[in-house]
Each structure stands twice: as structure tokens, then as C-alpha cells.
Amino acid sequence: MDALLPGPLVGDAWLAEHLGDQRLVILDATTELPSPRHDGDYRVASGRDAWHDAHIPGSRHADLTGDLSDHTAPHHFTVPAPEDLAAALTRLGVHDGTSVVVYDNGGGIWAARLWWMLRSISVPAAVLDGGWAGWLAAGHPTQSGPAAEVPAALPGLLTPVPLPGFWADITHADAVARGERPGALVCALPAAGFDGTAPTRYARRGHIPGSLSLPGRDLLDDAGRFLPRTELAARVSAVLQAQVSPVVLYCGGGISAAAVALALTLLGREDVTLYDGSLEEWAASERPLLVTARPPR
């Protein structure tokens, strides 16, 4: 970690103390993705309006539906090429020498997605634990309305340094599923998305054969903060054996999977990769999906 950020997760009190620090860029990654009403019901929108209505002072909205995704790809939210990602981040004020704190109003999954993207090109970054809801609950200051528009970002250079092992493609995921490559496939969707009992946004319901279920939301407490380390480790170890490596995470579109990636990072695992296309890509292919009955609780 860099000298400014204490770790991959920061609390609201820490962020409140560092508001105005010129070395720190605060990004709101909120994105609107309602639950599907029926199979194939994919609706997504920028969270900029919500940011405009109220946000952490000095923050900028990072639009994951805009130039922080590769729109030449056949599925949503594909990570851009490192140079394109760096260019988009530069327009948000991220430069060499700055650190980034990301938050959202959606339980932290969008913030975790951007955090993973930032880390993949060596930008020091952290997620605000508890996000916007936690910030409000603690009584910290907010900005809203036209007067709250953040001044234009200062010019600067961001040099992307891509790191290996952050992203997996469909061929990699398929090889793990078939046992042709080592590792564990882990699905971060809720249980009903994993077993196929709930509607899906994608072409087909179900999960990749051989994958394990570790819902990202189950790693948070009722306030939307990550569970204490001991409890977090217990939740993870109940599903995932420590000796199985690497861990290939997926969900619907590589978003909830990033929250699990953050949880595993908090537990010290460094053998984590994210299948970026996830079920949106997999379900549109001819590869198999399993639909199973939810096990009794």
C-alpha cells in the first residue's frame, strides 16, 4: 500500500480527516442496475444524477457506464485497455502520485469494481467501508445541487502499469471449469442467481459447472460494512479451501465478483483473478450452465 492509504479499505472517520488532501481523489462509482423483473431484463444507467443530488465533498462521479468501460466489447462493463482506462481516470483527476478512495450507494460492489480496475494498473486505491450510507449515518458533511459541482480536474499524467493475474477471459474460466487448469471458480451472485431460481438479466439461468457459491452480499454486515476479519474468514473458508489456488471469481458482469475479490484481499489472498465477461458472456455462448434446487437451510 502507498504511504497515504492505510489499506484496501478505509473508514468514514479516516476519510473525513483527509478531505481536502491534494494527494487524494474521491470517486463515486454509483451505478443503477435494478433487479431483473423477468429473464433478459437488463436495465442499467449512470449514477451521476444521484451523485449530483448529494455526494461526499470534493468527490467526482466515475461513470462505469461511460468511458470507464470498453464499449467496443460485446458485453457490459468490460475493463478498458490500460491506456484508455488511464486516460479516463486522468479526466477525473487521478494522476501519478495521487491515491484514490472509491465509494457508492449500492453496498460497495461498484466501488469494489473500480478499485479492482485501479489496482490492475497500479493506482493506489481503497474502498470506503459502508459507502455513502455509512458516511450519512456518521453525520459527515455532504454537498448537493448545482453549487456542489467539483472544479475541473487539474491536468496531469497517469502512467498505467498493468499487473498480471487480475483478469481472466472465457477460455481461462472454461479451462478451470473443465479441470484443465488449476484453481477454483467462485460465483459471487446471490444464492437464487447461482441456483437459477431467480430471474436473470442474461441469456440463460444458472451457474458455471463446478463453480462454488460465495455471494458477495453475504460478506457484509447489516450496515453494509465488511464483516470483522475472523467472521469474514469463517464465511470464506466454509466455501473455499485455502490450498485451492488460484481463485477465479465471476458473477453476472464482473461487479459483485470484485466485492469478493476485495474480501479475499482483506484476508491476505493474492491469487485472485476476475473473469470479466462473467455470466453475460458465458450465457450467450454455447457453454453449459447448471440450474440446481436451492439446498435447505
Residue entry with cell 434446487: 293
- What whole-number distance in Å separates Cα of residue 275 and Cα of residue 85? 18
161 φ/ψ angles, rounded to the nearest 5 degrees = -120, 90
Q: Which of 125, 188, 251, 264 is catalytic?
A: 251
Q: Is 251 a catalytic residue?
A: yes
* Residues in Cβ contact with 27 at an 8 Å cutoff, skipping those fewer than 6 apart: 59, 60, 61, 62, 92, 94, 100, 101, 102, 103, 114
HSE (CB half, 13 Å, CA atoms) of 56?
Answer: 33
Determine the distance from the C-alpha atom of residue 173 to the mean position of all C-alpha atoms in its chain, rounded to a whole number: 18
Task: Decide if 139 contacts 89 (C-beta within 8 A).
Answer: no
How far apart are alpha carbons 259 and 174 in whole angstroms? 22
Which active-site residues does the annotation give?
Answer: 251
